A and B are shown apart, each in its own frame.
Chain A
Amino acid sequence: MSYVIEGASGPWELVIGLEVHAQVISRSKLFSGAATDFGAEPNTQVSFVDAAFPGMLPVINRACVAQAVRTGLGLRAHINLVSRFDRKNYFYADLPAGYQISQYEHPIVGAGVIEIELADGSTRQIGVTRLHLEQDAGKSLHDQDATKSYIDLNRAGVALMEIVSEPDLRTPEEAGAYLRKLRTILRYLGTCDGNMEEGSMRADVNVSVRRAGEPFRTRCEVKNVNSIRYVMHAIEAEARRQVAVWEDGGEVVQETRLYDPARGETRSLRSKEDAHDYRYFPDPDLLPLVLEEDWVAALKADLPELPDEKRARFVRDYGLPAYDSGVLVADQVTADFYETVAKGRDARLAANWVTGDFFAALNRTGTTIETSPVSSAALGGLLDLLADQTINGRIAKEVFEAMVETGESAAAIVEARGLRQVTDTGAIDAAVDAVLAAHPDKLAEFRSGKDKLFGFFVGQVMKAMAGKGNPALVNDALKQKLS
């Protein structure tokens, strides 16, 4: 946490808070029965409620409430049994009612916490201020016509969770780790798919800078940044801008800014003076949202194992290092894959294979766990051949590459290619003798004290045996002959 921006007048520390809008996974919208599928033809998933026709009324979707509560529980947050919906009033063409139904004063979820893991292996607890439910707006399409804008209301009324962090983050890396961890938790819970490219997870970033030990200075909000990488870039760009303003004797003014990834800079969208007066007031069409304690308890009992718990279990039960465990649990599919491979096998060896050769193969072939030619059972089969010494470690790598290429099982490849490990000491001794005989000069050097040549002889013997020699037996035989 030694990240600072070195200004001309000394170091500046960053203060960062994130507001994440996470689109709730639900079949229908927050207050209407219209569908929520991404990518449908414009204006095909719109009810009269979504289009704010006269006399239409919102009715809360219980499934969306359950998703918000489950997310709150996943953030180890306080669930408010009584919350309320307010209207946030402003005019815009893609906001049909002229107000957004949101939760202003009484959110459904209160304070919680997200533990982030950093590259150096350290962890930090980042406070979550609140989570509230609100409606998404529609989409304005400005590029369809020279003079007109088009409106797509498919997204209007879709449920969003706004998840607000405390200003606890201090570096771009921490902000990135926070978003990744939040996304992991949401995906584990199945409450948001976390796809920032599709806009189902969006981040607003609050940034300020200060001298060490100072109270907070004025912050700026950078709106709607659509990837984790851009969030990190935007924070740095905005912090540098603010440092320059302060050091030039100016004053940072509170405003809303946009990040331009092409130029790597932020620019002003609107100042505080132009800020909307949203005229919040409780939505009279909706009663306060009252949750039954038993219902919340039942949701809690049904939660899946979450990443933090899973990571702790991997450390405890499989004896894995914390960092490796973190890598494995970052994605539920990976964790499940790993556990299938590790079951009844050497758990640490399994972790090394999954995070090593297997991940490398996925990267190289551009596949995912779901589309990979090597299933967890197949990788397990390879590890079994290693464990019962049918093959050695070197051959295993060769077999694995063949598995990636052909999709065949390890056993079949070993059988077809005759890769079975040689443990016949007679054959090994013969190979050792042949190698020693072929390299009298090296043998002499060894005898005169050049111990390092032992490795050379091992390599030559393995080469002579086409890599199939049992490494321990080859070592033993060489030691014996050379002693």
Chain B
Amino acid sequence: MSMHDLTLATARDGLRRKRFSARELTAHFLDAIEVINPRINAFITVTPELALAQAAAADAALARGEAGPLTGLPLAIKDLFCTAGVATTAGSRILEHFVPPYESTVTANLLRDGAVFLGKANLDEFAMGSSNMTSAFGPVVNPWTRRGDNAPLVPGGSSGGSAAAVAARLALGATATDTGGSIRQPASFCGIAGIKPTYGRCSRWGIVAFASSLDQAGPVARTVEDCAILLGSMAGFDPKDSTSAEQAVPDFAAACKRGVRGLRIGVPREYRSDGMPPEIETLWQQGLGWLREQGASIVDVSLPHTKYGLATYYIVAPAEASSNLARYDGVRFTDRSEGADLIELYENTRADGFGAEVKRRIMIGTYVLSAGYYDAYYLRAQKVRALILKDFTDVFRDVDALVTPTAPSAAFAQGEKMDDPVTMYLNDVFTVPANMSGIPGLSVPAGLDANGLPLGLQVLGKPFDEETVFAVGAALERAAGFTTLPSLRAPSLRAPSLRAGAEP
């Protein structure tokens, strides 16, 4: 086994068995980033010195026998998480030179558990996008290509850098955030796993806000179990976030081994859209078959308000964003474009600092909150949101989890779907309802499309029942046996340095 094939779980095992050191493991990933990152642009900032220092500390902890759950495991951090002393850009020109003096709760939790941070992963500007094309630091290239076609594909978004880094074996796992599908859709596009936990499971403190009532942090990683391990560290009540839930963090990794025997799996009929590619429909049926074979029963259910999900999402999210992004005004921590007076300073700073998609959403959000429009848009959207949640509450009385496709297509090419923002927004159609209702959603790589591109299946669960979601996801993963590798990935640079030892 070579180092680039390691999962988070096997790497942890290797560290504990002293098959390699945290410094060796970290150096391997730093080398891989040096070679591969210029081609995929998954990282905005790489922090080799910091990573090696953290790895050295990890080796010391391992030597003392004081290893935490993540000691010595190299991760990528979405550049939306504030990291003390390390530039945090949110993918935006306006925060290009912002170095936070504080560490987000989620990344602090990871550091507490011994993780090594390789650097900051690229993303759509302020997490607004489904393609990673809106980053001020250039698009991320999906490590996957269509069979017989080298056209660069998008990794999905907004956590495209996180997903691409993990898929290309540049990190064992990565933090990500999901406001309308930003963890699950790029995970699906890049052939990896990713979970958006229940709203409130992870603290939002120190994460640059996009839409506060929807934003939720979660991990992306090679396997469902890796996601479970990472989420176990990331999650937990935080008194600094008033919307954080006072819920105990269960052993998510153990839940992956539960199996699905006796579970009732719902299939929402409203997710069967007319334009869905037949191969996605086929994969979906296949996934349900796998679960049936493992002892679950499959039940047709209805989520009647699904069709309003996307429209209401694109009212609520921009509304909150328009307010959340008001602080980037050139007065304090952002770069400033001077003006003759205060208004001009604002206008110049924000005109220069924000990209087109961010400006579009600020304008939409400002519009829907304006006097005379608030009732028709924002208030009504919140009422529909309550109905979407009620749909889920109703079906979860009858079923334990839902299984759907993650996205309506496989990864598309850079430049596609760029003419009409609404076409781009349709990417989120299957993922948005989980954000609108706060429920957990996991994407698992389940198969390939006709072009050899990965496709994911989504598992949705009850609020704070990530354990069942992990159980179902792991069952799908086992049955799918997804082993195909992306065309661009880290070579086995340091494989020879692996010490001979007991096989894990």
Within 8 A of B (CB), among A43-66: 48, 51-60
Cα–Cα distance between A280 and B378 once the two chains are bound (Å): 11
A279 touches B366 (CB 8 A): yes
B323 touches A53 (CB 8 A): no
Minimal beta-carbon separation of B101 from chain A (angstroms)? 8
A residues in contact (CB < 8 Å) with B: 48, 51-60, 87, 89, 91-93, 96-99, 149, 151, 277, 279-281, 284-287
The chain B residue sitting closest to A51, CB to CB, is B332
B329 touches A91 (CB 8 A): yes
Cα–Cα distance between A91 and B366 once the two chains are bound (Å): 13
Cα–Cα distance between A151 and B342 once the two chains are bound (Å): 13
Given contacts A59-B242, A284-B211, contact A96 B327 (CB under 8 A): yes
Cα–Cα distance between A52 and B327 once the two chains are bound (Å): 7
Given contacts A93-B331, A151-B331, contact A54 B98 (CB under 8 A): yes
The interface size of chain B toward A, counting residues with CB under 8 Å, comes to 44
B326 touches A98 (CB 8 A): yes
B327 touches A97 (CB 8 A): yes
- Which of A55, A277, A281 gathers the greatest number of chain B CB atoms within 10 Å? A55
List 12 A-B residue pairs with CB atoms under 8 Å apart, sorted by A's residue number: A51-B333, A54-B95, A57-B242, A60-B242, A87-B323, A91-B329, A93-B342, A99-B323, A279-B366, A280-B374, A281-B374, A287-B243
Chain B residues near A89 (CB-CB < 8 A): 322-323, 326, 369
Cα–Cα distance between A53 and B102 once the two chains are bound (Å): 10
The chain A residue sitting closest to B205, CB to CB, is A57
Given contacts A55-B100, A55-B104, contact A98 B329 (CB under 8 A): yes
Given contacts A151-B331, A284-B320, contact A48 B369 (CB under 8 A): no
The chain B residue sitting closest to A55, CB to CB, is B206
A55 touches B242 (CB 8 A): no
- The reply on B20 being an interface residue by CB < 8 A is no
- 6 shortest interchain CB distances as A-B pairs: A98-B326, A284-B212, A284-B213, A279-B369, A55-B206, A52-B327
Chain A residues near B333 (CB-CB < 8 A): 51, 53-54
Given contacts A54-B100, A97-B326, A284-B211, contact A91 B243 (CB under 8 A): no
Contact of A57 among B101, B240, B323 (CB under 8 A): B240
Given contacts A279-B369, A279-B370, A281-B369, contact A58 B323 (CB under 8 A): no
The chain A residue sitting closest to B371, CB to CB, is A277
- The reply on B207 being an interface residue by CB < 8 A is yes
Chain A residues near B98 (CB-CB < 8 A): 54
Contact of B326 among A55, A91, A287 (CB under 8 A): A91
Chain B residues near A93 (CB-CB < 8 A): 329, 331, 342
Cα–Cα distance between A58 and B211 once the two chains are bound (Å): 15
- The reply on B140 being an interface residue by CB < 8 A is no
Chain A residues near B88 (CB-CB < 8 A): 54
The chain A residue sitting closest to B366, CB to CB, is A279
Chain A residues near B240 (CB-CB < 8 A): 57, 59
Within 8 A of A (CB), among B346-394: 346, 366, 369-371, 374, 378
Chain B residues near A54 (CB-CB < 8 A): 82, 88, 90, 95, 98, 100, 208-209, 327, 333
Chain B residues near A287 (CB-CB < 8 A): 242-243
Given contacts A87-B323, A96-B331, contact A55 B370 (CB under 8 A): no
The chain B residue sitting closest to A97, CB to CB, is B327
User: Besides the contacts A58-B242, A59-B241, A281-B319, what 13 more A-B pairs have beta carbons closer than 8 Å?
Assistant: A48-B102, A54-B100, A55-B207, A57-B204, A59-B239, A87-B323, A89-B326, A93-B342, A151-B331, A279-B371, A279-B374, A286-B243, A287-B242
Minimal beta-carbon separation of A368 from chain B (angstroms)? 42
Cα–Cα distance between A56 and B100 once the two chains are bound (Å): 11
- CB-defined interface of B262-300 with A at 8 Å, one 1/0 digit per residue? 000000000000000000000000000000000000000
Chain B residues near A59 (CB-CB < 8 A): 239-242
B332 touches A52 (CB 8 A): yes
- CB-defined interface of B287-316 with A at 8 Å, one 1/0 digit per residue? 000000000000000000000000000000
A285 touches B242 (CB 8 A): yes
Chain A residues near B332 (CB-CB < 8 A): 51-53, 96
Chain B residues near A55 (CB-CB < 8 A): 81-82, 100, 104, 204-209
Minimal beta-carbon separation of A147 from chain B (angstroms)? 10
Minimal beta-carbon separation of B360 from chain A (angstroms)? 17
Chain A residues near B209 (CB-CB < 8 A): 54-55, 285
Minimal beta-carbon separation of B418 from chain A (angstroms)? 27
Cα–Cα distance between A428 and B102 once the two chains are bound (Å): 88
The chain B residue sitting closest to A49, CB to CB, is B240
Chain A residues near B374 (CB-CB < 8 A): 279-281
Cα–Cα distance between A429 and B101 once the two chains are bound (Å): 92
Minimal beta-carbon separation of A94 from chain B (angstroms)? 9
Chain A residues near B82 (CB-CB < 8 A): 54-55
B369 touches A57 (CB 8 A): no
Cα–Cα distance between A341 and B200 once the two chains are bound (Å): 59
Contact of A281 among B204, B239, B378 (CB under 8 A): B378
Minimal beta-carbon separation of A48 from chain B (angstroms)? 6
Chain B residues near A57 (CB-CB < 8 A): 204-205, 240-242
B346 touches A91 (CB 8 A): yes
Minimal beta-carbon separation of B336 from chain A (angstroms)? 12
Chain B residues near A91 (CB-CB < 8 A): 326, 329, 343, 346
Cα–Cα distance between A34 and B334 once the two chains are bound (Å): 23
Cα–Cα distance between A98 and B378 once the two chains are bound (Å): 19
- CB-defined interface of B152-174 with A at 8 Å, one 1/0 digit per residue? 00000000000000000000000
Within 8 A of A (CB), among B92-120: 95, 98, 100-102, 104
Minimal beta-carbon separation of B439 from chain A (angstroms)? 17
